Structure 1
Amino acid sequence: MEREKILIIDDETDILKVIKAYLEKNNYIVFEADTGKSALQLFENLRPDLIVLDLMLPDMTGEEVCRTIRRESNIPILMLTAKSSEDDMVNGLLIGADDYITKPFSPRELLVRVISLLRRSRIKAVSDQEKSLAFAGNRLSIDQERHEVSVMGKPVSLTPIEFKLLELLARHPKRAFSRLELVNLIQGDSFEGFERTIDVHVKNIRQKIGDDPRHPTFIGTVFGVGYKFQVNPDE
């Protein structure tokens, strides 16, 4: 697995050294920042996997840094601070931190929290990936959770049946489905119509996503059988 990148933001040199040494010993790639401005610049350039953020910085508050990052990213943020009151902790979590640890702290405890946050982040990433699909260099995107389809970033309006059909084919690339299979899988016994109704739905989907029926990129015709999605998802 690729080594994960962690950005530590703290103006106390000794703390930076301790955390950096401990995390590097556990196979993480570590970057340091001692001001809010430099931290935000590193965040933009590096796109780390996790941030350890002190709340007391010389040029801006950790809360400001957290809010700025949260406007564009869901990266895990572990707040590290001498502020130990319940109100401080609650406020830190409310503005977007994922966890909170107070100084003085145990490097081992910090490591455990880092591991836990990164694990949750990986699980969420996998879950999000399973809910959405992208094809042909993100030309076509299908978001199951939002029930949305877009082509080149522009939304496409599909009927519920068209969405179900497109999603079913896309989730099983290269598999040929007969028309009867598609009918049963999409609507089962509630379907009122003939197998050839699938042809009409496919024609409409192709038109809406810009798929040339003579030379389709996405939905291919399997002659004498039915249809298949002929592009694998982007990796």
Structure 2
Amino acid sequence: MTKPLALVVDDDIDVAGFFTFALQDADYETKVVHDGQKALTALQELTPHLMILDMYLPDTTGKDILQHVCGDGRFSDSWVIVATGVGKSLEGWVGQEAGGRWGGGGGGGG
């Protein structure tokens, strides 16, 4: 049986490593990228079951990546976990980008 795929998008190598370890322990296959351009390239080639997405990347924001995911029907069954080390609320920001599906379902289509 094929393992589900998780894409980890985080510029902090230690944080990405933590998520990768936890996901592999949960029997996920993982791919890690450290910037937005590499995330978009990976999303052209892959359809992950789960994506952990840092909102603050060196070359773009997670919001741009989230807009891409929400606008592409290939990701309608994908889940997105938004992660950030910045201490401010992202609920309204991310909820609007996810088409009002904040906390209600998959990243692309709920």
Please state which band the TM-score falls in when normalised by the shorter chain.
Answer: 0.7 to 0.9
Q: Please tell me whether Structure 1 or Structure 2 has the larger radius of gyration of its CA atoms.
A: 1
Cα deviation 1:3-44 (Å, max 9, x = unaligned): 110000000000111110111011100110111110011111
Q: Distance in 2 between matches of 1:54 and 1:79?
A: 6
Q: Distance in 1 between matches of 2:36 and 2:9?
A: 8
Tell me the CA shift for residue 77 of structure 1: 1.0
Residue 8 of structure 1 aligns to a residue whose secondary structure is strand
User: How do 1:74-85 residues align onto structure 2 when only pairs under 5 Å count?
Assistant: 74=76, 75-85=78-88
1:45 aligns with 2:54: no
TM-score with structure 2 length normalisation?
0.81
Q: Distance in 1 between matches of 2:7 and 2:102?
A: 15
Q: Distance in 2 between matches of 1:85 and 1:27?
A: 31
User: How do 1:163-202 residues align onto structure 2 when only pairs under 5 Å count?
Assistant: none
Tell me the CA shift for residue 82 of structure 1: 2.2
User: What residue is the counterpart of 2:18 in the other structure?
Assistant: 18
User: How do 1:136-175 residues align onto structure 2 when only pairs under 5 Å count?
Assistant: none
Runs of 4+ in structure 1 off by over 4 angstroms are: none
Contact 1:9-1:34 within 8 A present in 2 as well:
yes
Aligned residues: 103
**How large is the RMSD of aligned CA atoms in angstroms?**
2.3
Q: Which runs of 5+ in 1 are unaligned?
A: 100-116, 125-235
User: How do 1:196-235 residues align onto structure 2 when only pairs under 5 Å count?
Assistant: none
User: What residue is the counterpart of 1:60 in the other structure?
Assistant: 60
User: What residue is the counterpart of 2:29 in the other structure?
Assistant: 29
Contact 1:78-1:98 within 8 A present in 2 as well:
no
Between structures 1 and 2, the one with greater helix share? 1
1:91 aligns with 2:56: no
Counting aligned pairs with the same residue, the percent is 21
Q: Which runs of 5+ in 2 are unaligned?
A: none
Contact 1:11-1:58 within 8 A present in 2 as well:
yes
Change (3 A) 1:30 1:98: farther
Tell me the CA shift for residue 93 of structure 1: 1.9
Residue 3 of structure 1 aligns to a residue whose secondary structure is coil
Tell me the CA shift for residue 89 of structure 1: 1.9
TM-score with structure 1 length normalisation?
0.40
Whose RCO is larger (CA < 8 A, sep 6+)? 2
